[in-house]
Every structure is written in C-alpha cells, then in structure tokens.
Amino acid sequence: MKGIAAKKLLTHLVIIALVFINLVPLLIVLSSSLRSPKNMTNPLNWFNEFTLESFQSAFTRMHFMSALWNSIVLTSVSVFFVVVLAAMAAYPMARIRSKFSRFLYIFFLSGLVVPGQMVLIPIIQMIKGLGIPMNQYTPILMFITCSLPFSTFLYTGFIRSSVPEEIEEAAHIDGCSMFRRFWQIVFPLILPVTVSVVITQGVWIWNDYFFNMVFITKASDAPLPVAMLGFLGDQQNPAQWNVLFAACILCALPLLLAFLALQKYFVGGLTMGSVKG
C-alpha cells in the first residue's frame, strides 16, 4: 500500500511541475498586470503588488466594453448560421448513400486545407462585386464559410452513426414532412454535435484577428483581438508593459470564464469527432 501512495504522490509532483512550467508565462503576465503601470521591478519577483490601476488603464484605452460587445455579436451571429447551415447540409450527406453524396462530403471537407490568407484578394473582389458593403459585419460571411468544412464533417458523422433511420421512417408514416422531420426530430437528437460545433467554431471565431483586421477599419467596430492589435501597434501613444499585460488578460477573460463555467461541454465538444471515428 505504501508503494502505491508514494507512486501517486510522485505522479502528482511530476504533473504539478509540468503544469507550472506550462503556465509560467501566463502567471508572470497575470502578476505584472496586477501591478501599477509604473512598477518596473523585476517581473520574476512576482505578485509583489496588487492593484487594478493597469487594468483600469487598459479597460478604457482598448474600449473594452464596446470591443466585448462587438466580439459577442460577431461570434454569436456567425455560430448561429454555422449551426443551421452545416446541420442542414450534413443531413442528406449522411442519409443518402450515393456517389454524389460521397462527393459532396469530400468537397466540403477538402476546404479545410485552404488557408484564408491565400484567397483573400479574390474574396474581397467577390464581396465588392456582389455589392456587399464592407463593414463590421462582413467578417461574418467568412466565419460562416470557413467553419462549414469541419462542422459538416462532425454533423455528417454523428447523424450517420447515432440517429436511427427507423425513427424517421416512423415519422414519415405518420405523415411528417421532410422539413419538419429534420427540424423536429433529427435536429434535437444531434444536440451533442451542436454543442461541439458551437464550442470549436466559437473559440476560433472569437479569437480570429485576420478577417476582422482585413474588413474592419473603424476602431469602434473592432472586436477584442483587433482592439488588442490596435493597442499594441499604437506607436504615438505607447502603453506601459503592465498595461499591455492587463489588456492580454482582459482579452482572454471572457473565454476563460466561459471555459470555467462550461468545462464539461468544452471537453466533450473537443472529442466529439475523435472517438467515434
């Protein structure tokens, strides 16, 4: 018995050491953000001051509330459309077994390998050509598009493996139309994938700076990562390190809180496509 206890203790110690190494950069950032902007003592003497001065400065200078609101709007609208479009698209791909259906599946999935930076100029031309205005909502189009490959992949796999066709046949006999069958029977049954899509796609959309940076020109329209970018690149009015560190924490805080509150769903959502196969 003693041997097992000792072994467990050792495992804990090894893991704690690794966790510590892994999180040191973030802990230093946290400790520095809790100092006043003028405190330039060695950051390694961490947590030697606790004040919210740097946070206050970062909060006003990056217009945190408006940036947060912009992030929330961009992410929630995009994720809503991703869920609707991807779930619908996956339905026939999962249910019809034909070469064409197989082709569609591969066709959507293959979009995953193309980086957005590569096709940016033709995309901008396309948007201008269609007369779509370039404003703070334009990135939503790209978030939806770029999320389709992975989301349709997840939905197709799940509908195929976990929604029995018999249920649908029964509904069909009861005179349920295809449209209602999908929204009222299939869609509620695929809720676990919807959670997974919301989390995996929501995190990247929330954190994306690239499409936002390209399409959003007004500072007041910027979501959090772009506000951070503007803050870092402000040459005329450079911020002190501690204020920048506070901005880093503020930028990550909403997702960190969401993660703490919804941990179970995050972990389940990430592993959705990987265990079923």
Q: Which of residues 137-196 bind other proteins (CB under 8 A)?
A: 141-142, 144-146, 148, 152, 165, 168-169, 172, 178, 182
Binding residue (CB under 8 A) for other proteins from 54, 55, 68, 108 = 108
Site for other proteins in 25-54 (CB under 8 A): 25-26, 28-29, 42-44
State how far the Cα of 86 lies from the Cα of 148, in Å rounded to an integer.
6
Q: Which stretch binds other proteins (CB under 8 A): 47-55, 59-67, 189-197, 204-212?
A: 204-212
Beta carbons of 89 and 107 less than 8 angstroms apart: no
Alpha helices in the chain (DSSP H): 2-33, 53-61, 64-95, 99-109, 120-129, 138-162, 165-173, 178-180, 187-189, 191-207, 210-215, 224-232, 241-261, 263-276
Binding residue (CB under 8 A) for other proteins from 6, 13, 114, 219 = 114
Kindly state the smallest distance separating residue 155's Cβ from other proteins, in Å.
10
Binding residue (CB under 8 A) for other proteins from 22, 235, 236, 237 = 22
Binding residue (CB under 8 A) for other proteins from 117, 162, 217, 220 = 117
Terminal C-alpha separation, the chain: 39
Q: Which residues, other chains included, contact 135 with Cβ-Cβ below 8 Å and sequence gap of 6+? A: 215, 216, 221
Kindly state the smallest distance separating residue 268's Cβ from other proteins, in Å.
9
- The residue assigned the tokens 């869609």 is 187
Binding residue (CB under 8 A) for other proteins from 50, 106, 118, 175 = 118
Q: What is the token pair recorded at 178?
A: 């295809």
State how far the Cα of 222 lies from the Cα of 63, in Å rounded to an integer.
9
Beta carbons of 91 and 156 less than 8 angstroms apart: no
Site for other proteins in 75-104 (CB under 8 A): 84-86, 88-89, 91-93, 95-97, 100, 104
DSSP line for 250-262:
HHHHHHHHHHHHT
Q: Which stretch binds other proteins (CB under 8 A): 54-62, 156-164, 190-198, 249-257?
A: 249-257
Q: Which stretch binds other proteins (CB under 8 A): 51-59, 62-70, 156-164, 254-262?
A: 254-262
State how far the Cα of 54 lies from the Cα of 33, in Å rounded to an integer.
6
Kindly state the smallest distance separating residue 60's Cβ from other proteins, in Å.
19
Q: Pick between residue 65 and residue 112 the one whose CB is nearest to other proteins.
A: 112
Beta carbons of 108 and 101 less than 8 angstroms apart: no
Q: Pick between residue 60 and residue 107 the one whose CB is nearest to other proteins.
A: 107
